[in-house]
Amino acid sequence: MPKDKDKDKDVWIVRCPKCGRVTRGCKHVTPEDLARIKRLLSAGVEVFESEAEYREWEAGAEFGEIPRTHLYTVMQPRATLGDVVLSPSTLESIGDALVELKHKRLIFKKWGLADVVRKNKGVSMLFVGQPGTGKTLTAEAIACELSRPLMIVNYAHLENMWVGETEKNVEAVFKAAEEAGAVLFFDEADAVFHRRGHSAMPWTNRDVNVLLKHLEEFPGVVILSSNLSKVMDKALDRRIDIAVEFEMPNAQLRERIFKKLVPKKAPLADDVDFAELARKFELSGGGILNVVRQAMRMAARAKRNRRITMAHFVKAAEREAQKGILMSKDYLGPARQAQRERIGGYA
Ligand SMILES: Nc1ncnc2c1ncn2[C@@H]1O[C@H](COP(=O)(O)OP(=O)(O)OP(=O)(O)O)[C@@H](O)[C@H]1O
Ligand SMILES: [Mg+2]
């Protein structure tokens, strides 16, 4: 049990996943369980979900700090800008960002922009557009273009129910990105940058403020990606240097995406007509990728003489279009948001 002077510090609150807060025991947690849990927690017993998690903790503990490497995933980008098919206006905005990054010394030092901007400013970009329009792919391509790794933030781990921990997590992510010289990527940034004061907001105002501050001071490249810019925090506006809209591709772009996503090695039947498919089906790039995959699955079912035919593509595209209708009703619906909601209510 805690010593007297720590009495107030260690008040353990036990919550049953079915019944909620348990004060005297419930159907699932008996009073004896409760007493034992509290005794163990007060004694400092900790539980880890896996061997890997324990080892990670052990390694960090040697240096006196909690390891925070699970907060992000670092990848070496493989896709280039040549792999992405974008409208001229989207390409132009991305070109702007790249020019500034590639000629940072010229613009900031030689031409004196540093005197005006006054901060060790990197470049922050906001990618907005419907799902599957190539935002993640473009972030990867930008990292590739700059020969830097891409660091993708894992929200599920970033947010922590303990007071002050989310803040430390955010700090750790920006620090790690700076040290690695990585392009920092906040996918689905709306999860975090919801307008402050919004009732369903999963992050506390304080956490968002910390994030905005880091965003402002980060000397590297940070990209935020979102499906819905409208509900995003106004304060974010002035911290974003370049906002890029990813539109749904038109028929011409869709045809180019089909051609890009169907591998050269794929055995196409003579009747396959990408222009026709592109005209007929209003799909995003992600949708087209699904169609290509599905058409291949259908073609692979044949016992011999396997060819991917126009009929396979059409059937796959019809299925994808149908899926699009179903999903669009729900793609930002309660189910997807619920996962992000705070468990408990400690902070
Ligand atoms: N404009 C595009 N050009 C070429 N391929 C594309 C394009 N858009 C999407 N794709 C294909 O679809 C896949 C999924 O796209 P991506 O993950 O980049 O979409 P997104 O905009 O990040 O979607 P979300 O909002 O759901 O995260 C890509 O890996 C790529 O194969
Ligand atoms: Mg994405």
189-208 mean pLDDT: 63
Q: How far apart (Å, rounded) are the C-alpha atoms in residues 216 and 213?
A: 5
Give yes or no: residues 94 and 195 share one domain.
yes
In this predicted model, what pLDDT tens digit does every residue of 308-330 receive, in sequence order?
999 999 999 999 988 867 766 55
Q: Which domain holds residue 88?
A: 69-247
In this predicted model, what pLDDT tens digit does every residue of 51-65 receive, in sequence order?
877 777 666 655 555
Give yes or no: residues 148 and 209 share one domain.
yes
Give yes or no: residues 194 and 234 share one domain.
yes
pLDDT higher than 80, residue 160? no
String of b and e for 36-57 (b: at least 16 CB within 10 Å)? eebeeeeeeeeeeeeeeeeebe
Q: How far apart (Å, rounded) are the C-alpha atoms in residues 106 and 311?
A: 54
Neighbours of ion ligand 2 (CB under 5 A): 135-136
How sure is the predictor about 208, in pLDDT bands with cuts at 50, 70 and 90?
Answer: confident
Give yes or no: residues 269 and 143 share one domain.
no
CB atoms within 10 A of CB 6: 10
Give yes or no: residues 190 and 255 share one domain.
no
How many A from CA of 46 to the centre of ligand 1?
Answer: 41
Does the reported pTM lie above 0.85? no
How many A from CA of 131 to the centre of ligand 2?
Answer: 7
41-57 mean pLDDT: 78
- Dihedral sign computed on CA atoms, order 170, 171, 177, 183: positive
Instruction: Please choose, from the candidates 40, 38, 4, the residue with its C-alpha nearest in 3D space to the C-alpha of residue 24.
Output: 38
Dihedral angle at the C-alpha atoms of 156, 161, 167, 172, nearest 10 degrees? -50
Give yes or no: residues 236 and 257 share one domain.
no
Nearest ligand to the C-alpha atom of residue 133: 1
- Domain end: 191, 213, 247, which one? 247
Number of domains in the chain: 3
Alpha carbon 118 to chain centroid, angstroms: 30
CATH of residue 268: 1.10.8.60
> Residue 343: inside a domain, yes or no?
no
How many A from CA of 224 to the centre of ligand 2?
Answer: 10
The number of the ligand 1 atom at minimal distance from the alpha carbon of 85 is: 3
The first and second tokens of residue 137, run together, are 């792919």
What angle do the packed helices 165-180 and 205-217 form, to 10 degrees? 20
Distances in Å between the Cα of 282 and the Cα atoms of 248, 285, 312 are 8, 10, 17
> Residue 347: inside a domain, yes or no?
no
How many A from CA of 341 to the centre of ligand 1?
Answer: 26
Q: How far apart (Å, rounded) are the C-alpha atoms in residues 165 and 342?
A: 13
List pocket residues of ligand 1, CB cut-off 6 Å.
Answer: 84-86, 129, 131-137, 187, 227, 246, 257, 260-261, 285-286, 289
Nearest ligand to the C-alpha atom of residue 85: 1
Between 53 and 227, the higher pLDDT residue? 227
> Residue 334: inside a domain, yes or no?
no
Residue that has been written with the tokens 């925070």 in this structure: 68
How sure is the predictor about 201, in pLDDT bands with cuts at 50, 70 and 90?
Answer: very low
